Every structure is written in structure tokens, then in C-alpha cells.
């Protein structure tokens, strides 16, 4: 089902509608056009945020070749809003939240935010699903394949033009993205995966790092020694943009012990893996024209060295 709403663009100030208004847009599963309104989103009702960008396409974890487009052109992301995972058994993926325009109201000034009462929050929460079985979860990540469709090569090119028209970026910025993608695509075809190693069985190291700890990222050479010929360590890729942190100091933002898998809802257990402050996937290196999803880059602890602060 589709609801008429005002078209939104980057920089627009919006207010997340009241719980009872959002309830009117949802089906029995708590979704609008297969995209769930998640329990973690309820706390934002009545609050105001700026639109970060319109979503013309998105990637899906585990595949750098597939770009997906939402079946309806009414999805945006808001500045800084990510899923906390609290209603999904503490999932630590911290996905950027997708918003249907029908869930938002454009406002002219910051002003006073709308009051929402507790009973309306409860009514909305009661409609929202969090699981489909004992070991599978229901969220925007799990339903991503249902809410989107694969894009053809021509459609992917069209979305690059659409990104400029939607004010997500300038024509120059898009040209830069395509140039970066083309460079790394040719390099990968000629030389193979960047930073690839020779390991058949990739090694493991446990530092038991905790949020806030200071670390040094090892040199590219040391990291390559832990990778196979696809530049992966136990299935986790080392992407070209991650090289920028090699040899530098950073802080652990969070541990990454469990995440919900895109498209399946399975909770996957991870080990010896962390986020680092400010380190994002920056998939423009591998995704044609880039992606708005803004995933964090995942770092194996074997790629890091604990720093002792003095």
C-alpha cells in the first residue's frame, strides 16, 4: 500500500509522525510496502531530524556485486539515526534506519517537538514484529530483499544520474565516485583483490578489546599476512579504503559479537571483531556509484595492536 506524502530532499527538516499516525500506514506485520517500522524507531516519534539523503539504491551484506532498489521511490535516511538493536536480542550491527516518507512530516523550523503519550507508544509497539521463529529475527535488514529488487546495469547507471537530481551529491562528486570505482575495478581484474595474501587457513588472534581502548592499526604488510587470496580473514574482507588507517592510531567504538544477517534474519555470532571510530565501509570502491547505507567497517583484532596509554 502507498500513502501520499511530501517529497523530501537532503537538508529538509522533518518530524517523525506520532505513533497513531504511523499505525495507520502499517499492515498486520508492521510494515509499509514490506519495509518494517521497527521497535527501535518508536523512541524517535515526535522528534525532529534532518534528511541526510534520498535512497535510490542500497547494497546488501555479503554481496558487492548486487545493488538493490526499493520498489517505491519514497525512502530516505535521517542524520545519525541507527538501529540500537535493543528489541532484537542486542544485535550490534547498528544499521542505518530507512524511513518511508509516509512516516515523516516536513517542518519549517526546529521549534518545539510534538508530545507523544506513552499509551500511543504502547499501541504501536504491540503491532511491531521482532522475530519469525525461535532463531530468526524480523527487522529492516531481514526484510531487505522483500522491500527491494535487483537493479540491472542500465538501472544502476540511471540511479547515478538520479543521485544528482535528488541532491544527494553534485555531478562532480558522482564523477569522482565512478572514477574511484572504475580504478579499483580495473585493478582488481588485473592484479586481483587488493591486499590479498597467501594463507589457505587464515589465522586468529584475540585481544579482548573493549569500547574506548586505544589501538594501533598494523601495517598493510602485516595485515596481508593474515589474508587469503580473496583478501579475507575467516570470510571478512579487508576493503581498499581500510588501508588509510594502516599504521595509525584509533579507538575502539564497540565490539561486534552478533549481527542479524541481511535477507535471512539469522543471528550470526562473530569473534575477535570490532568497530573503530570513524571507520566506515565506503563502498564506493566496490559498489557502482556508492551506497547510502553507511555501514561500519569491521576490523579483526589480528589487524590491530593494543596501545598502552601513558
How confident is the model over 127-175, as pLDDT tens digits?
999 999 888 999 999 999 999 999 998 998 999 999 999 999 999 999 9
pLDDT of residue 287: 81
pLDDT of residue 53: 94
For residue 310, pLDDT over 80 is answered with no
Average pLDDT of the residues in 213-238: 96
Please state which of the ranges 22-26, 30-34, 266-270, 285-289 shows the lowest mean pLDDT.
Answer: 285-289
Decide if 252 contacts 212 (C-beta within 8 A): yes
Domain ranges of the chain: 13-154, 170-310
Q: H/E element holding 105?
A: strand 104-106
For residue 4, pLDDT over 70 is answered with no
Residue that is written with C-alpha cell 518545539 in the block: 112
Report the chain's mean pLDDT, rounded to a whole number. 91
pLDDT of residue 62: 61
How confident is the model over 63-109, as pLDDT tens digits?
545 789 999 999 999 999 999 999 999 999 999 999 999 999 999 87
For residue 5, pLDDT over 90 is answered with no
pLDDT of residue 63: 52
pLDDT grade, residue 6 (50/70/90)? confident
| pTM for the structure as a whole | 0.91
pLDDT of residue 117: 80
d(CA 278, CA 177): 20
Amino acid at each position: 500500500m502507498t500513502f501520499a506524502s511530501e517529497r523530501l530532499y537532503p537538508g529538509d527538516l522533518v518530524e517523525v509522525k506520532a505513533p497513531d499516525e504511523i499505525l495507520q500506514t502499517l499492515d498486520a506485520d508492521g510494515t509499509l510496502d514490506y519495509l518494517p517500522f521497527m521497535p527501535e524507531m518508536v523512541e524517535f516519534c515526535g522528534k525532529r531530524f534532518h534528511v541526510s539523503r534520498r535512497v535510490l539504491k542500497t547494497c546488501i551484506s555479503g554481496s558487492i556485486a548486487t545493488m538493490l532498489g526499493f520498489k517505491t521511490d519514497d525512502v530516505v535516511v535521517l542524520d545519525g539515526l541507527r538501529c540500537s538493536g535493543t528489541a532484537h536480542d542486542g544485535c550490534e550491527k547498528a544499521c542505518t534506519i530507512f524511513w518511508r516518507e509516509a512516516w515523516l512530516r516536513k517542518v519549517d523550523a526546529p521549534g518545539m517537538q510534538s508530545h507523544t503519550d506513552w499509551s500511543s507508544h504502547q499501541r504501536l509497539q504491540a503491532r511491531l514484529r521482532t522475530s519469525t521463529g525461535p532463531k530468526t529475527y524480523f527487522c529492516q535488514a531481514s526484510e531487505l530483499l522483500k522491500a527491494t529488487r535487483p537493479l540491472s546495469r542500465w538501472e544502476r547507471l540511471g540511479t547515478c544520474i538520479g543521485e544528482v537530481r535528488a541532491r544527494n551529491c553534485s555531478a562532480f562528486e558522482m564523477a569522482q565516485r565512478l572514477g574511484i570505482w572504475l580504478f579499483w575495478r580495473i585493478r582488481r581484474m588485473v592484479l586481483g583483490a587488493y591486499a590479498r595474501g597467501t594463507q589457505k587457513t587464515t589465522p586468529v588472534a584475540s585481544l579482548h578489546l573493549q569500547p574506548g581502548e586505544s589501538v594501533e592499526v598494523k601495517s598493510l604488510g602485516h595485515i596481508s599476512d593474515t589474508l587469503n587470496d580473496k583478501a579475507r580473514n575467516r570470510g571478512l574482507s579487508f576493503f581498499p579504503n581500510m588501508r588509510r588507517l594502516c599504521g595509525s592510531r584509533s579507538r575502539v567504538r564497540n565490539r561486534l559479537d552478533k549481527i542479524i544477517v541481511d535477507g535471512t534474519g539469522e543471528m550470526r555470532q562473530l569473534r575477535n571483531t570490532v568497530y573503530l571510530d570513524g571507520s566506515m565501509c565506503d563502498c564506493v570502491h566496490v559498489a557502482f556509484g556508492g551506497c547510502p547505507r553507511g555501514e561500519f567497517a569491521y576490523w579483526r583484532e589480528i589487524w590491530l595492536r593494543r596501545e598502552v596509554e601513558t
